[in-house]
Amino acid sequence: MIKKLIFSLLVLHICAVLGDGLCKDCMEYTKCKAAFDHATLKQDNETLQLFSKAYCGVVYENGQMVKKVQVCCSSFPPLEMPSIDSSNGISKDHLLPETCGSILGNRIVGGKYARLYEFPWMAIIFYITSSGPQRQCSGSIINSKYILTAAHCVVNKNIAGVRIGDFDVSRDEDCDYQSGVSPACEDHIQEMYVELAIPHSEFRRGPPENDIALLRVEGEINFSYPNVEPICLPITPELQNKVLDYMTGTVAGWGVTETRKEATRLMKVDIPVKSNSDCKMYYLNSPNQHHYFKRAMKNQFCAGELGKDSCDGDSGGPFMIKDIYKDVNRYVQYGVVSSGPGLCGSGEPGFYTDVSKFVNWILDNIKE
Protein backbone atom coordinates (compact mmCIF):
# COMPACT_ATOMS: atom_id res chain seq x y z
CA MET A 1 0.00 0.00 0.00
CA ILE A 2 2.84 2.41 0.84
CA LYS A 3 4.45 1.81 -2.55
CA LYS A 4 1.09 2.41 -4.26
CA LEU A 5 0.61 5.57 -2.22
CA ILE A 6 4.01 6.99 -3.13
CA PHE A 7 3.58 6.03 -6.77
CA SER A 8 0.14 7.69 -6.93
CA LEU A 9 1.52 10.86 -5.42
CA LEU A 10 4.35 11.01 -7.93
CA VAL A 11 1.90 10.57 -10.81
CA LEU A 12 -0.46 13.23 -9.43
CA HIS A 13 2.26 15.80 -8.87
CA ILE A 14 5.04 15.01 -11.30
CA CYS A 15 4.33 18.25 -13.15
CA ALA A 16 3.83 20.36 -10.05
CA VAL A 17 6.24 23.08 -9.03
CA LEU A 18 8.36 21.31 -6.45
CA GLY A 19 9.26 22.94 -3.17
CA ASP A 20 7.44 26.17 -4.01
CA GLY A 21 7.35 27.38 -0.40
CA LEU A 22 3.59 27.05 0.12
CA CYS A 23 4.25 25.91 3.66
CA LYS A 24 6.95 26.50 6.25
CA ASP A 25 7.25 22.90 7.37
CA CYS A 26 7.86 21.02 4.12
CA MET A 27 9.74 17.83 4.97
CA GLU A 28 10.08 14.17 4.10
CA TYR A 29 6.91 12.42 5.20
CA THR A 30 8.96 9.90 7.18
CA LYS A 31 10.21 12.75 9.41
CA CYS A 32 6.69 14.02 10.11
CA LYS A 33 5.19 11.77 12.79
CA ALA A 34 1.55 12.51 11.92
CA ALA A 35 2.14 11.90 8.20
CA PHE A 36 4.12 8.74 8.84
CA ASP A 37 1.42 7.43 11.20
CA HIS A 38 -1.23 7.96 8.51
CA ALA A 39 0.93 6.25 5.87
CA THR A 40 1.66 3.21 8.00
CA LEU A 41 -1.46 2.82 10.13
CA LYS A 42 -4.32 4.27 8.09
CA GLN A 43 -3.79 3.32 4.49
CA ASP A 44 -7.05 4.42 2.89
CA ASN A 45 -8.45 6.99 0.44
CA GLU A 46 -8.67 9.66 3.11
CA THR A 47 -4.95 9.31 3.74
CA LEU A 48 -4.23 9.47 0.02
CA GLN A 49 -6.22 12.71 -0.21
CA LEU A 50 -4.36 14.15 2.77
CA PHE A 51 -1.04 13.39 1.10
CA SER A 52 -2.27 14.84 -2.17
CA LYS A 53 -3.22 18.15 -0.56
CA ALA A 54 -0.14 18.29 1.67
CA TYR A 55 2.35 17.42 -1.08
CA CYS A 56 5.13 19.99 -1.43
CA GLY A 57 7.89 18.20 -3.32
CA VAL A 58 10.20 15.23 -3.64
CA VAL A 59 13.80 14.82 -2.62
CA TYR A 60 16.57 15.21 -5.18
CA GLU A 61 19.95 13.60 -4.68
CA ASN A 62 22.80 14.25 -7.15
CA GLY A 63 20.33 15.73 -9.59
CA GLN A 64 18.18 12.62 -9.57
CA MET A 65 14.65 12.51 -8.17
CA VAL A 66 14.26 9.81 -5.54
CA LYS A 67 11.02 8.50 -4.08
CA LYS A 68 11.07 10.51 -0.86
CA VAL A 69 7.86 12.49 -0.86
CA GLN A 70 7.82 15.77 1.00
CA VAL A 71 4.68 17.06 2.71
CA CYS A 72 3.51 20.06 4.73
CA CYS A 73 3.63 18.41 8.11
CA SER A 74 1.09 20.79 9.67
CA SER A 75 -1.54 19.56 7.20
CA PHE A 76 -1.76 16.24 9.02
CA PRO A 77 -3.87 15.98 12.16
CA PRO A 78 -2.45 13.68 14.86
CA LEU A 79 -3.69 10.19 14.18
CA GLU A 80 -5.62 8.68 17.04
CA MET A 81 -6.43 4.99 16.92
CA PRO A 82 -8.76 4.50 19.88
CA SER A 83 -10.01 1.11 20.87
CA ILE A 84 -13.75 0.98 20.40
CA ASP A 85 -16.56 -0.31 22.52
CA SER A 86 -18.15 -2.58 19.94
CA SER A 87 -21.56 -2.25 21.54
CA ASN A 88 -22.07 1.44 20.86
CA GLY A 89 -19.00 2.70 18.99
CA ILE A 90 -17.85 4.94 21.87
CA SER A 91 -14.17 5.13 22.71
CA LYS A 92 -13.35 4.15 26.28
CA ASP A 93 -9.66 5.03 26.24
CA HIS A 94 -10.38 7.88 28.64
CA LEU A 95 -11.20 5.29 31.32
CA LEU A 96 -7.54 4.29 31.41
CA PRO A 97 -5.23 6.67 33.29
CA GLU A 98 -2.69 8.98 31.67
CA THR A 99 -0.13 8.29 34.41
CA CYS A 100 0.77 4.63 34.86
CA GLY A 101 3.61 2.13 35.01
CA SER A 102 6.20 4.43 36.59
CA ILE A 103 9.67 2.88 36.69
CA LEU A 104 11.57 3.10 40.00
CA GLY A 105 15.15 3.09 38.86
CA ASN A 106 1.59 -18.10 41.18
CA ARG A 107 5.11 -18.10 41.31
CA ILE A 108 8.56 -16.70 41.55
CA VAL A 109 11.51 -19.08 41.19
CA GLY A 110 15.07 -17.79 40.85
CA GLY A 111 13.95 -14.26 41.61
CA LYS A 112 14.85 -11.63 44.13
CA TYR A 113 13.03 -9.26 46.42
CA ALA A 114 11.33 -6.31 44.82
CA ARG A 115 11.84 -2.82 46.18
CA LEU A 116 9.24 -0.89 48.11
CA TYR A 117 7.23 1.23 45.60
CA GLU A 118 8.71 -0.68 42.64
CA PHE A 119 5.45 -2.32 41.49
CA PRO A 120 2.65 -0.24 43.07
CA TRP A 121 -0.02 -1.76 40.81
CA MET A 122 0.24 -5.21 42.42
CA ALA A 123 -2.91 -6.49 44.12
CA ILE A 124 -3.38 -9.61 46.25
CA ILE A 125 -6.64 -11.51 45.83
CA PHE A 126 -7.98 -13.19 48.97
CA TYR A 127 -10.49 -16.05 49.00
CA ILE A 128 -12.95 -17.41 51.54
CA THR A 129 -11.99 -20.99 52.34
CA SER A 130 -12.83 -23.51 55.04
CA SER A 131 -9.48 -22.62 56.64
CA GLY A 132 -10.22 -18.90 56.59
CA PRO A 133 -9.10 -16.16 54.16
CA GLN A 134 -6.28 -17.30 51.90
CA ARG A 135 -4.26 -15.54 49.20
CA GLN A 136 -4.10 -17.61 46.04
CA CYS A 137 -3.80 -15.17 43.13
CA SER A 138 -2.50 -11.75 42.19
CA GLY A 139 -3.74 -9.03 39.90
CA SER A 140 -2.77 -5.62 38.59
CA ILE A 141 -4.48 -2.25 38.98
CA ILE A 142 -5.46 -0.75 35.62
CA ASN A 143 -7.59 2.15 36.87
CA SER A 144 -9.36 3.32 40.03
CA LYS A 145 -12.13 0.71 39.67
CA TYR A 146 -10.63 -2.38 38.03
CA ILE A 147 -8.07 -5.11 38.69
CA LEU A 148 -6.82 -7.24 35.79
CA THR A 149 -6.24 -10.92 36.60
CA ALA A 150 -6.67 -14.45 35.22
CA ALA A 151 -10.07 -16.03 34.63
CA HIS A 152 -9.05 -19.17 36.53
CA CYS A 153 -8.59 -16.91 39.58
CA VAL A 154 -12.26 -15.88 39.31
CA VAL A 155 -14.39 -18.72 37.94
CA ASN A 156 -16.03 -20.83 40.68
CA LYS A 157 -14.09 -18.89 43.32
CA ASN A 158 -15.40 -17.27 46.50
CA ILE A 159 -13.48 -13.98 46.53
CA ALA A 160 -13.19 -12.25 49.89
CA GLY A 161 -11.59 -9.09 48.49
CA VAL A 162 -8.35 -7.56 47.24
CA ARG A 163 -5.51 -5.93 49.11
CA ILE A 164 -3.73 -3.01 47.46
CA GLY A 165 -0.46 -1.35 48.43
CA ASP A 166 0.98 -4.28 50.40
CA PHE A 167 4.62 -5.31 50.14
CA ASP A 168 5.37 -7.73 52.97
CA VAL A 169 2.19 -9.53 54.00
CA SER A 170 3.73 -10.61 57.31
CA ARG A 171 4.18 -7.04 58.57
CA ASP A 172 1.85 -4.15 59.33
CA GLU A 173 4.53 -1.66 58.24
CA ASP A 174 6.67 -2.24 55.17
CA CYS A 175 10.22 -0.91 55.24
CA ASP A 176 12.93 -0.95 52.59
CA TYR A 177 16.41 -0.95 54.11
CA GLN A 178 19.47 0.15 52.16
CA SER A 179 23.00 0.30 53.46
CA GLY A 180 23.81 3.76 54.77
CA VAL A 181 20.35 5.14 54.02
CA SER A 182 17.45 5.69 56.38
CA PRO A 183 14.75 3.12 55.66
CA ALA A 184 11.69 4.07 53.64
CA CYS A 185 8.58 2.80 55.40
CA GLU A 186 4.95 2.52 54.36
CA ASP A 187 1.89 1.38 56.30
CA HIS A 188 -1.00 2.50 54.10
CA ILE A 189 -2.93 -0.55 52.87
CA GLN A 190 -6.25 -0.50 51.01
CA GLU A 191 -8.61 -3.43 51.52
CA MET A 192 -11.29 -3.48 48.82
CA TYR A 193 -14.42 -5.58 48.39
CA VAL A 194 -15.18 -6.86 44.90
CA GLU A 195 -18.40 -5.55 43.40
CA LEU A 196 -18.27 -7.63 40.22
CA ALA A 197 -16.08 -10.38 38.76
CA ILE A 198 -15.91 -10.47 34.94
CA PRO A 199 -14.18 -13.55 33.50
CA HIS A 200 -13.87 -13.85 29.73
CA SER A 201 -17.02 -15.50 28.41
CA GLU A 202 -14.98 -17.98 26.34
CA PHE A 203 -12.57 -18.98 29.09
CA ARG A 204 -11.58 -22.65 28.97
CA ARG A 205 -9.80 -24.17 31.95
CA GLY A 206 -7.97 -27.14 30.51
CA PRO A 207 -5.92 -26.36 28.60
CA PRO A 208 -6.39 -22.66 29.44
CA GLU A 209 -7.77 -20.37 26.76
CA ASN A 210 -8.89 -16.76 27.12
CA ASP A 211 -7.57 -16.88 30.69
CA ILE A 212 -8.27 -13.26 31.57
CA ALA A 213 -10.69 -11.49 33.91
CA LEU A 214 -11.53 -8.16 35.50
CA LEU A 215 -12.49 -7.40 39.08
CA ARG A 216 -14.53 -4.25 39.70
CA VAL A 217 -13.98 -3.03 43.26
CA GLU A 218 -16.47 -1.29 45.51
CA GLY A 219 -15.63 2.37 45.92
CA GLU A 220 -12.49 3.74 44.27
CA ILE A 221 -8.81 2.98 44.65
CA ASN A 222 -6.98 5.95 46.17
CA PHE A 223 -3.95 6.92 44.09
CA SER A 224 -2.76 9.69 46.39
CA TYR A 225 -0.29 7.33 48.13
CA PRO A 226 3.11 6.43 46.60
CA ASN A 227 2.54 2.68 46.99
CA VAL A 228 -0.52 2.64 44.72
CA GLU A 229 -0.51 3.33 40.96
CA PRO A 230 -2.02 1.68 37.86
CA ILE A 231 0.06 -0.15 35.28
CA CYS A 232 -0.01 0.78 31.58
CA LEU A 233 -1.73 -1.42 29.00
CA PRO A 234 -0.66 -1.84 25.34
CA ILE A 235 -3.45 0.36 23.96
CA THR A 236 -1.70 1.80 20.87
CA PRO A 237 -1.20 -0.06 17.57
CA GLU A 238 2.58 0.15 18.01
CA LEU A 239 2.44 -1.58 21.39
CA GLN A 240 -0.16 -4.12 20.29
CA ASN A 241 1.89 -5.11 17.23
CA LYS A 242 5.18 -5.48 19.08
CA VAL A 243 6.88 -8.83 18.56
CA LEU A 244 7.80 -10.11 22.02
CA ASP A 245 9.95 -13.07 20.92
CA TYR A 246 13.24 -13.17 22.89
CA MET A 247 12.47 -9.98 24.80
CA THR A 248 12.94 -10.02 28.57
CA GLY A 249 10.04 -9.21 30.86
CA THR A 250 9.46 -9.08 34.60
CA VAL A 251 7.00 -11.08 36.70
CA ALA A 252 6.24 -10.12 40.30
CA GLY A 253 4.26 -11.92 42.97
CA TRP A 254 4.01 -13.51 46.40
CA GLY A 255 3.92 -17.09 45.12
CA VAL A 256 5.92 -20.21 45.97
CA THR A 257 9.70 -19.76 45.80
CA GLU A 258 12.44 -22.28 45.03
CA THR A 259 12.38 -23.21 48.72
CA ARG A 260 8.79 -24.40 48.09
CA LYS A 261 7.54 -21.87 50.63
CA GLU A 262 5.06 -19.12 49.92
CA ALA A 263 6.79 -15.73 49.89
CA THR A 264 5.60 -13.09 52.35
CA ARG A 265 7.50 -10.27 50.66
CA LEU A 266 6.92 -9.27 47.05
CA MET A 267 9.41 -10.90 44.71
CA LYS A 268 10.35 -10.38 41.08
CA VAL A 269 12.11 -12.27 38.35
CA ASP A 270 13.26 -11.35 34.83
CA ILE A 271 12.52 -14.03 32.25
CA PRO A 272 12.83 -14.26 28.45
CA VAL A 273 9.90 -14.69 26.09
CA LYS A 274 10.13 -17.74 23.86
CA SER A 275 9.06 -17.88 20.24
CA ASN A 276 6.12 -20.09 19.28
CA SER A 277 8.55 -22.52 17.65
CA ASP A 278 10.58 -22.70 20.86
CA CYS A 279 7.41 -23.44 22.83
CA LYS A 280 6.57 -26.12 20.33
CA MET A 281 9.99 -27.68 20.82
CA TYR A 282 9.50 -27.82 24.59
CA TYR A 283 5.95 -29.15 24.66
CA LEU A 284 5.62 -31.17 21.47
CA ASN A 285 8.34 -33.56 22.64
CA SER A 286 6.26 -34.46 25.68
CA PRO A 287 3.42 -36.89 24.85
CA ASN A 288 1.36 -35.43 27.70
CA GLN A 289 1.68 -31.89 26.38
CA HIS A 290 1.13 -32.41 22.64
CA HIS A 291 -2.53 -31.42 22.49
CA TYR A 292 -2.01 -28.89 25.23
CA PHE A 293 0.37 -26.91 23.04
CA LYS A 294 -1.92 -26.95 20.00
CA ARG A 295 -4.73 -25.26 21.89
CA ALA A 296 -2.94 -23.24 24.55
CA MET A 297 -0.94 -20.98 22.22
CA LYS A 298 -4.01 -19.11 20.98
CA ASN A 299 -3.65 -15.51 22.20
CA GLN A 300 -0.86 -16.60 24.51
CA PHE A 301 2.91 -16.55 24.69
CA CYS A 302 5.32 -18.57 26.78
CA ALA A 303 8.33 -17.44 28.77
CA GLY A 304 10.82 -18.76 31.30
CA GLU A 305 14.08 -20.64 31.58
CA LEU A 306 15.78 -23.15 33.83
CA GLY A 307 15.64 -21.88 37.39
CA LYS A 308 13.51 -18.84 36.57
CA ASP A 309 9.73 -18.99 36.43
CA SER A 310 6.49 -17.84 37.95
CA CYS A 311 4.91 -20.37 40.33
CA ASP A 312 1.83 -21.28 42.39
CA GLY A 313 0.27 -18.18 43.87
CA ASP A 314 1.51 -15.79 41.17
CA SER A 315 -1.44 -16.63 38.89
CA GLY A 316 -3.21 -13.57 37.56
CA GLY A 317 -0.20 -11.33 38.09
CA PRO A 318 1.39 -9.17 35.38
CA PHE A 319 4.16 -9.94 32.91
CA MET A 320 5.72 -6.50 32.39
CA ILE A 321 8.11 -5.00 29.86
CA LYS A 322 9.65 -1.53 29.97
CA ASP A 323 8.39 0.27 26.88
CA ILE A 324 7.57 3.70 25.49
CA TYR A 325 4.05 4.67 26.50
CA LYS A 326 2.89 8.15 25.42
CA ASP A 327 6.50 9.22 24.86
CA VAL A 328 7.64 8.09 28.34
CA ASN A 329 9.53 4.94 29.33
CA ARG A 330 7.09 2.99 31.54
CA TYR A 331 6.11 -0.52 32.54
CA VAL A 332 3.53 -1.95 30.14
CA GLN A 333 1.65 -5.15 30.99
CA TYR A 334 1.89 -7.57 28.09
CA GLY A 335 0.87 -10.76 29.88
CA VAL A 336 -1.17 -12.32 32.67
CA VAL A 337 0.31 -15.34 34.50
CA SER A 338 -1.85 -18.26 33.35
CA SER A 339 -0.31 -21.73 33.67
CA GLY A 340 2.95 -23.61 33.56
CA PRO A 341 4.84 -26.84 34.12
CA GLY A 342 4.14 -28.98 37.16
CA LEU A 343 7.59 -28.17 38.56
CA CYS A 344 8.28 -24.43 38.57
CA GLY A 345 11.65 -23.43 37.15
CA SER A 346 12.15 -26.85 35.55
CA GLY A 347 13.18 -25.31 32.24
CA GLU A 348 9.81 -25.76 30.54
CA PRO A 349 8.33 -22.30 29.90
CA GLY A 350 5.13 -21.08 31.51
CA PHE A 351 2.13 -19.71 29.63
CA TYR A 352 0.88 -16.14 29.76
CA THR A 353 -2.31 -14.63 28.39
CA ASP A 354 -1.33 -12.09 25.72
CA VAL A 355 -2.89 -8.83 26.98
CA SER A 356 -2.35 -7.08 23.64
CA LYS A 357 -4.94 -9.42 22.11
CA PHE A 358 -7.55 -8.50 24.74
CA VAL A 359 -7.34 -4.69 24.93
CA ASN A 360 -10.67 -4.26 23.15
CA TRP A 361 -12.25 -6.87 25.47
CA ILE A 362 -10.96 -4.95 28.48
CA LEU A 363 -12.33 -1.63 27.20
CA ASP A 364 -15.64 -3.25 26.31
CA ASN A 365 -16.05 -4.50 29.86
CA ILE A 366 -15.06 -1.48 31.94
CA LYS A 367 -17.30 1.47 32.74
CA GLU A 368 -17.27 4.65 34.79
Kindly tell me the burial class for residue 41, based on how many C-beta atoms sit within 10 Å of its own C-beta (0-12, 13-18, 19 or more).
Answer: middle
Which residues are marked as active site?
152, 211, 315
Would you identify the CATH topology of the domain 100-365? Answer: Thrombin, subunit H (2.40.10)
31-45, 120-134, 314-328: least confidently modelled range: 31-45
Give mean pLDDT, residues 67-74. 78
% pLDDT > 70, the chain: 70
| Most confident range, picked from 200-214, 268-282, 303-317, 351-365 | 351-365
**236 secondary structure, DSSP code:** S
- What confidence score (pLDDT) does residue 165 get? 93
Contact 239, 325 (CB under 8 A): yes
Residue 195 CA from chain centroid, whole number: 24
45-59, 117-131, 319-333: range with lowest mean pLDDT: 45-59
Mean pLDDT along residues 111-132: 85
Output the pLDDT for position 216.
Answer: 97
The per-residue pLDDT of the chain, averaged, comes to 77
Highest mean pLDDT (candidates 9-23, 229-243, 248-262): 229-243
pLDDT at 230: 96
Which residues, 6+ apart, have CB-to-CB distance to 340 below 8 Å? 107, 304, 309, 310, 311, 348, 349, 350, 351
Mean pLDDT, residues 244-265: 74
For the chain, the domains span 2-75, 100-365
Query: Cα 340–343–345 angle (5° rounding)?
Result: 80
206: Cβ contacts below 8 Å, ≥ 6 apart:
none
pLDDT classification of 212: cutoffs 50, 70, 90: very high
Of 13-17, 44-48, 54-58, 96-100, the poorest mean pLDDT is in 13-17
Summarize the confidence of residues 221-244 as an average pLDDT.
Answer: 92
How far from 140 is each of 143, 203, 213, 324, 342, CA to CA, in Å?
9, 19, 11, 19, 24
Instruction: Report which DSSP code applies to 308.
Output: B
Pairwise CA distance, residues 302 & 324, whole Å: 22
> What distance in Å separates the CA atoms of residue 280 and residue 80, rounded to the nearest whole number?
37
Residue 330: predicted pLDDT: 93
Confidence of residue 285 (pLDDT cuts 50, 70, 90): low
Residue 297: pLDDT band (50, 70, 90) is: low
Band (pLDDT 50/70/90 cuts) for residue 20 is very low
pLDDT 10s digits, 315-326: 899 999 999 998
The reported pLDDT for the residue numbered 278 is 77
Q: Residue 312: what pLDDT?
A: 43
